[in-house]
Structure 1
Amino acid sequence: MTTPAPDESRRHGWRIGSIAGSPVYIARSWPVIAVVIIAVFGPALGRPDRGASYGYLVAAGYALLLLVSVLVHEAAHALAARARGHSVGRIVADVWGGHTVYDATRSTPGTTALVAVVGPVSNLALAAVAWAVEAGVTNEAASTLLVIVARANFLVGLFNLLPGLPLDGGQIVSALVWRLTGRKGSGLVAAGWLGRVMAAGTVLWFVGRPLLEGEGIAMFEVVWPVAIAFFLWQGATQAIRAGAIHDATAGPVQDVLEPVVLLPATATVGEVGELARGSRTSSAWLVATDERGWPFGLLDPAAAAEVPAATRATTPLRAVVTSQPADWVVALDTDAVLTDLVREMSERNLPVTVVLDATTRRVLGIATADRVNEVVGAALARRRRS
């Protein structure tokens, strides 16, 4: 078992174990749910003949079983993702229920839908199991808990199947649109807008409808629907933004590449000008390569200009080169799109990168974060105008 770094544990919460090698955390926000459940359901579940603490103990048991239900839901996502060949980073139970982080880089619409649907299905299965077990239980407290757990899992399962992101049903809709259009971003945008509809519908149904019918509504009855609607709206908005960016980065990598002139490590500062003039464009980046021809740094024009004319012919190129990180060279397949390059640059935290053809190992050009942002920004602007 791999122990995460201390800062990782603090960031995600308390680690309680692992599932199929993936760490499982309880976020520090989760106790909020437990406290609310105990405070709200404790008095309602109380029995005069069992003492004042009976209802609160049953409510605490429900909070614990709800945590188990959340972990089963997320474990179903994680196991399905692993079965489809994706690495799972972590499983986290938090104030909104939970989430599973897995690498969906090479995912497909079918895999996305499968990973999404198993979560709600696991809740519906838990509901069925709880109902079945409750039928043979004679202990009153256990029976009460099983009924509550069955109803909660049934409702959570159905709720998560609603067709809008960030719910699992929204992932299924997104995958369907992706399959039909061939554009993952379009699926995210469509399911995101449906998520906004779900958010508005939640407020209208639980708050607007009673008010329009002249019914009174308590403050507590308003807080939870509004909180859920806020969560849905926030997740839907993020999905819409992510979809737009995904479509904007679905073009060819060549759109952001700038020309490169490779300078051998054996060259001198005096030879740089002659080598650069041999390129087809004056705006090419000057990249230094080592003895193997591997790019290792960028020529610093200011440093090269400061070399005295008398010593330029003997000053080695390395003296005026800014070395780059070892992983600054990115090799991409011929069918790679800008999304693939953006992901690599983001994961490696690269402001500038040399791009190679993964098959031929030929240098295709250089990409910078500024150029990527310029191209993506222009694509997003065109999308907003259309």
Structure 2
Amino acid sequence: MGTRSVKLAKVLGIRIGADPSWFLALFLIILLLGDRFDAVLPAESPTVHWALAVAAALLFFGSLIIHELGHAIAARWFGIQTQGIDLWLLGGVARLSRDARTPKEEFVVAIAGPVGTVVAGGLCVLVGLLLQGDTSLVDAALLREGADDPLLALFGWAAAVNVVLLVFNLIPAFPLDGGRIARAIAWKISGDRRRGTVVAGGLGRVFAILLAVYGVVILMNGDTVSGIWFLLIAWFIGGAARAAVVTSEISEQLHAVTAGELMDEQPAWVPQDATAIEAEEEAFAPFGVPWAAVLSQDGRIVGVVRIERVREELNAGRPGTPVAELLDAGDAPHVGPEATLEELLADDRLRELGALPVVGADGTMRGLVSFRSVRDALARALPGTDLQRG
């Protein structure tokens, strides 16, 4: 969804975009509300009716953005970045850089969206109360015929929509926020993230079936638009719930495999007191590696030396140049043996170098984990793959 979205704005440093399907949703909402405002406010001109419809649609999607910003702000508190917020046919979604790692993170990030909806709805209620006159805010919210204040009808409707969004999102069915809250609770009680996801995913599939049945009933009663809408939502929730269970199984594999399990325990390396010619003869020529770790006498990593630097010295007729003078600038790149497959996949240094030294808490080098070994481990973690292979 993110790659196809059209940028609409940037809020708090977060890109707000719209999937092409959002424009269809915008058109349908304006079309339906234009007719509704025409029935509710017969004394107003068609221009007012359609202006209210456009404003109401913008308030609706503005409320969705505030909801998703709630998720984004809470995620930022836990160090989770938001890659963007996208509006689409069935609502909005905040694309986070990673999933929650603890039940607390899951619960707080999930509940923050409904909190945003409460804020958005509360503002609409406040404005509605200030505008309230002969027509009550409740009548305006329900768009009952006979309303006499266009702005009251607008903000009353927006307040009602936020109430509906709040109640709907708190239904304990994944991937709705209520389902994520249920997953956090089940995760906390069981101590097992996957079990929590299975529980929430199961609730999501049950709710999707109920929605689908309701959509079919509405269709049979002649309300085609609402029936199709409920069937679309049921399809989305059911698919997302199934995908969540599968993704959770993959995630478990990504967290179960560590660098210590994947590393080569006898990689090429160079002593700190070696010369350029010794590095060439002992590491680069026999192993054909593009770089090698440089270790002190007690096995601690002091840096990395690349084959280009060594051969520059040899070609210049300086075979006795100490390797210590040829090290890459900065700290030596490395990972700990406890680094998970998920963390290795996200490490740009691994893709750049092709491998990373695995260094223990005492600073000594334990081995070398390669991008190839990480790629093979990922392949074994994918669904349908024999995890016992290799």
1:53-90: CA deviations, max 9, x gaps?
Answer: 33322211110111221122122222223344544443
Q: Residue in 2 aligned with 1:234?
A: 239
1:162 aligns with 2:146: no
Identical columns (%): 23
Where 2:174 maps in the other structure, the secondary structure is: coil
**2:48 paired residue among 35, 39, 54:** 54
C-alpha distance in 2 between matches for 1:371 and 1:198: 41
Q: What is the distance in 2 between the residues matched to 1:256 and 1:287?
A: 19
Task: Spell out, residue by residue over 1:304-326, the C-alpha distance to the aligned partner (whole angstroms, 9 max, x if none).
Answer: xxxxxxx9xx999xxxxxxx9x9
Out of 228, 246, 262, the position equivalent to 2:269 is 262
1:159-238 to structure 2, matched below 5 A, reads: 159-207=168-216, 209-210=217-218, 215-238=220-243
> Residue 373 and residue 193 in structure 1: after superposition, are their counterparts in 2 closer, same or farther (change >3 A)?
farther
1:247 to 252, 259, 268: 252
Structure 1, unpaired ranges of 5+: 1-8, 278-282, 300-310, 317-323
Q: Structure 1 residues 295, 180: CA separation in 2 closer, same or farther (over 3 Å shift)?
A: farther
Q: Relative to 1, partners in 2 of residues 1:367 and 1:194: Cα closer, same or farther, differing over 3 Å?
A: farther
- CA deviations on 1:125-148 (whole Å, 9 max, x unpaired) are 543553454344235212222222
**Structure 2 CA distance for aligned equivalents of residues 274 and 261 of structure 1:** 6
Deviation at 1:98, TM superposition (A): 1.9
The residue number in structure 2 matching 1:331 is 335
Q: 1:103 to 1:10 in 2, by over 3 A?
A: closer
Q: Report if aligned partners of 1:330, 1:353 keep a CA contact under 8 Å in 2.
A: no
Tell me the TM-score normalized by structure 2: 0.72
* Counterpart amino acid of residue 91 in structure 2: G
In structure 2, relative to structure 1, the CA distance for the partners of 1:243 and 1:51 (3 Å cut) is same
Tell me whether 1:16 sits opposite 2:15 in the alignment.
no
Q: What is the alpha-carbon distance in structure 1 between the residues aligned to residue 18 and residue 185 of structure 2?
A: 32
Q: Deviations over 1:206-265 (max 9, x none)?
A: 21x457xxx433432332112212322332233223211111122233222223121457
User: Which moves more between the two structures, 123-132 or 245-254?
Assistant: 123-132
Q: Shift of residue 123 of structure 1? A: 1.9
Checking the alignment, whether the CA contact within 8 Å between 2:121 and 2:162 is kept in structure 1 is yes
Other-structure match for 1:320: none
Which residues in structure 2 correspond to 1:1-386 (within 5 Å)? 12-19=5-12, 22-29=13-20, 30-47=22-39, 48-104=42-98, 107-131=101-125, 133-135=127-129, 136-138=131-133, 140-207=149-216, 209-210=217-218, 215-251=220-256, 252-259=258-265, 260-263=267-270, 266=275, 268=277, 272=281, 288-289=292-293, 293-296=302-305, 329-332=333-336, 335-344=338-347, 349=351, 352-357=354-359, 359-378=361-380, 381=385
Distance in 2 (CA, whole Å) between partners of 1:105 and 1:44 is 41
Distance 1:275 1:95, change over 3 A: closer
Q: What residue number does 2:312 align with?
A: none
The answer to whether the 8 Å contact 1:328/1:350 transfers is no
Q: Distance in 2 between matches of 1:330 and 1:60?
A: 55
Number of equivalences: 349
Tell me, what secondary structure is at the counterpart of 2:335?
Answer: strand
CA shift, 1:339, in A, is 2.8
Note the aligned Cα RMSD (angstroms).
Answer: 4.2
| 1:10-61 deviation digits (Å, cap 9, x = unpaired) | 8653242322xx2241325333322111112211221443233333222111
Contact (CA 8 Å) 1:258, 1:285: kept in 2 or not? no
One-letter identity of the residue aligned with 2:221 = G
Secondary structure of the corresponding residue to residue 364 of structure 1:
strand
Say if 1:253 and 1:193 are closer, same or farther in 2 by CA, change over 3 A: farther
Deviation at 1:101, TM superposition (A): 3.6
Q: Distance in 2 between matches of 1:290 and 1:270?
A: 10
Q: What amino acid is aligned across from residue 179 of structure 2 in structure 1? A: G
Tell me: CA distance 1:114–1:254, structure 2 relative to 1, closer, same or farther (3 Å).
same
Mapped contact 2:100–2:106 kept (Cα < 8 A): no
The one-letter code of the counterpart of 2:235 is F
2:69·2:116 contact (CA, 8 Å) conserved in 1?
A: no
Cα 1:166/1:143, change in 2 over 3 Å:
same
| C-alpha deviation, 1:271, in angstroms | 7.1
Q: Alpha carbons of 1:66 and 1:372: their partners in 2 closer, same or farther (altered >3 Å)?
A: same
**Residue 54 and residue 342 in structure 1: after superposition, are their counterparts in 2 closer, same or farther (change >3 A)?**
same
Secondary structure at the residue paired with 1:163? coil
Deviations 1:260-297 (A, max 9, x none): 121457364897579999xxxxx998952469852355
| 2:283–2:289 CA contact under 8 A, matched in 1 | no
CA 16–186 in structure 1, closer or farther in 2 if over 3 Å, else same: same
TM-superposed deviation, 1:157: 0.9
Instruction: With the length of structure 1 as denominator, give the TM-score of the two structures.
Output: 0.73
